[in-house]
Amino acid sequence: MSALRSLLSGKVRSQSGCYTCRLRRKKCDEKRPVCDGCTALEIDCVYGEHKPDWMDGGPKQRAMAEMIKLQVKKQASQRRDRKYLEMLEDGTRLVSLNDRPAAANGHASDNTAVFSSESDRAFDTSPSTLSGTTGPSPDMPWHQHQLVGPGGGGAQKSDYDSAQDTHLIMNYVDFVFPYLFPYYQPPILVGGRGWVLDAFLHGNRSIYYTAIALSSWFFGVLLAGGLEQHAACTDRMARQLHHQMGISLKELQKNIYAISAKKDKFDIREGLGVMQSVIQMLIFEVTAANKDNWKLHLDAAIALFVKILPEPAQWTERVHELWTPKWPPPEMGIRRPWSTDQAALRFFGANLLYIDIMSSITLARRPRLAAYHEPVIPRCPANALSTEPQSAGPLRMEEFFGLQNWVVQTLGDIAALDAHKKEQQRAGTLCAADLAERGEALFQAVKAGIRHLDNQDYSQTPVERAVSVIRDPLASLNPGSADYSQTPVERAVSVIRDPLASLNPGSAAARLNHIIQNLLWLHAAFLYLSTVVSGWRPDDAEVRRSVDKVTELLADMPDGKTMQSMAFPFCVAGCLAPPAYRDRYRGLVSRLGPLQVFGTMQEAKNIMEFAWANGAAADESWDVAKCLNSLGHGALLI
């Protein structure tokens, strides 16, 4: 009957294709001796005048089909690993530390270039360019060696010395890390951030040098302050960054090769260390606005995470397994803080789940780690945030990003709905009623969350605002500057503030910040969902209300690192904002001063400028994913 239908339709199946493609029920291009399909998948391509024995239409054929499926899966993993290693080999040639990306509408950046004309060129930090660099002596601690110049043999030393590493790594812990993760303030009894320093000094070398590279750049940006007279100093920082990233890439290559060589003998702790390095490298790529390299890092990080935790339900058990008798000692009993590996898995696991969801928005696909959401970040976690040591269990994303678990999961659900919509559009089977029905449940949840938070008292008195302000690192580095001067109340508060207060997630300041953070993101989620279900409608009354609310909340936020965590709400609301708001949004970025180029706020601003210049307001075909890909690469706003 099927043959008759094919005959009537005028379609005649070729009998010349390879048997592998026939078994897989795929179209074959019939190239000899190996077809393109089998070549691409790196699987055996079987031709012949006679059918192979396994094409029996029975158990042998089914067994061969399963074997080929496994082969395809295995080869896909190997191709991914090779592609990642090739990317590491190429290094970060596309990294540019020029803070003046061209804007589509001709608006220049609010800053002048941080680095000089020599150093704002793309850095070639591929390992091949550093092949002559002498590595550290095996007889000395690896984090205490000196880098030498490309001449090799130690004859020509660069202007870099290891004493600077100490300062840079502490600058990372004190300033860069809190700037990138402003909501991550683990209480002292839980272990604080000591594990971060321990991971750098006693973990693998890649994460150490990536942290130093980020610290170098951060310090260089602050040092320059947009002033030409600092060009020589920032030039030197740029050369150091070249060395640091080159070493980090070489070490990461070694780690990936080592894990690949072990095949089935995967070591959990070793894999965790490499996953930390990969995610840290991803953060560097995103912070440096380094185009699409983050996608390969994300692929590698997800593959490692799945090896570390093959079964999502085993999350708590896996965290338990990573304790160590060295520190904290077992004698502390249930009051033990997290060990370095436990804290690292919790922190980088939370980051990976968050990055996976944010990348799914950019790529318009379902979150790849969706199966891990309920076991690891349940919508309604039973455990509460506490200043006391906790037993292993699910995570609360407030601890890491100031966002409630269900808010993060809802963003993933909206991304999945967007992916479903686009799949249906490509297939020509999109049903508007079905899309609206799927979206309605999400709308109800988002609106209920907004109503709940709106009823909370998040208004601040001047004194409360002074207490809750997370100051820009510039303020502490230049307390005498007129631009960052403090009022008498602010000075008094900063002097008498209890350091433990900021570590208490139940404090008034923390509670206020969390309310505003979640409210901002829920309004952004509403705007995102509206574009998925109803299209790009900036003039819609509900859309305008959410844009107004986001604009108001962003304008009321204190200057400094808290703003850095708002790139996605900032970008979504800004793209939908009316023309009268555009200068206000540009001004929000300017408040970050030189640090506007460190992180994703500048990238978000460039996306808005492009959308404004290209008539997004009047084009209903625009959506959030299109905005995030409008600069010629996928922007990951984390």
In angstroms, rounded to a whole number, what is the distance separating the alpha carbons of residues 602 and 286? 11
> Which among 425, 420, 428, 435 has a CA at the least distance from the CA of 530?
435
pLDDT of residue 148: 33
Same domain? For 390 and 296 the reply is yes
Asked if residues 309 and 375 have their Cβ atoms less than 8 Å apart, the reply is no
Same domain? For 329 and 196 the reply is yes
Domain assignment present for 441: yes
User: Letter for the amino acid at 304?
Assistant: L
Residue with tokens 């699910």: 394
Q: What is the pTM of this model?
A: 0.74
The 3-state secondary structure of 179-240, one letter per residue = HHCCCCCCCHHHCCCHHHHHHHHHCCHHHHHHHHHHHHHHHHHHHHCCCHHHHHHHHHHHHH
Domain assignment present for 10: no
In angstroms, rounded to a whole number, what is the distance separating the alpha carbons of residues 148 and 127? 15
Domain assignment present for 145: no
N-terminal to C-terminal alpha carbon distance within the chain: 55
Residue with tokens 């290559």: 253
483-512 pLDDT tens trace: 434 443 343 333 223 333 333 444 444 445
Same domain? For 516 and 382 the reply is no
Q: Residue 109: phi, psi to the nearest 5?
A: -65, 155
Q: Model confidence at 337, in pLDDT bands (50, 70, 90)?
A: confident
Residue with tokens 């922007």: 635
pLDDT at 86 over 90: no
Asked if residues 587 and 554 have their Cβ atoms less than 8 Å apart, the reply is no
In angstroms, rounded to a whole number, what is the distance separating the alpha carbons of residues 159 and 285? 25
Domain assignment present for 494: no
Single out the residue in 44, 71, 90 at which a domain terminates: 90
Domain assignment present for 542: yes
In angstroms, rounded to a whole number, what is the distance separating the alpha carbons of residues 152 and 569? 49
The residue segments making up the domain with residue 51 are 19-90
In angstroms, rounded to a whole number, what is the distance separating the alpha carbons of residues 325 and 339? 9
Q: HSE-up of 362 (CA within 13 Å, CB side)?
A: 25
Q: In residues, how long is the chain?
A: 638
Domain assignment present for 375: yes
Single out the residue in 62, 90, 118 at which a domain terminates: 90
374-394 pLDDT tens trace: 999 999 988 777 777 777 899
pLDDT of residue 534: 92
237-291 pLDDT tens trace: 767 777 778 888 888 888 888 888 877 788 999 999 999 999 999 998 888 766 7
Q: Please tell me whether residue 148 adopts helix, strand or coil conformation.
A: strand
pLDDT at 7 over 50: no
Single out the residue in 90, 110, 141 at which a domain terminates: 90
Asked if residues 637 and 568 have their Cβ atoms less than 8 Å apart, the reply is yes
Average pLDDT over residues 143-172: 55
Domain assignment present for 595: yes
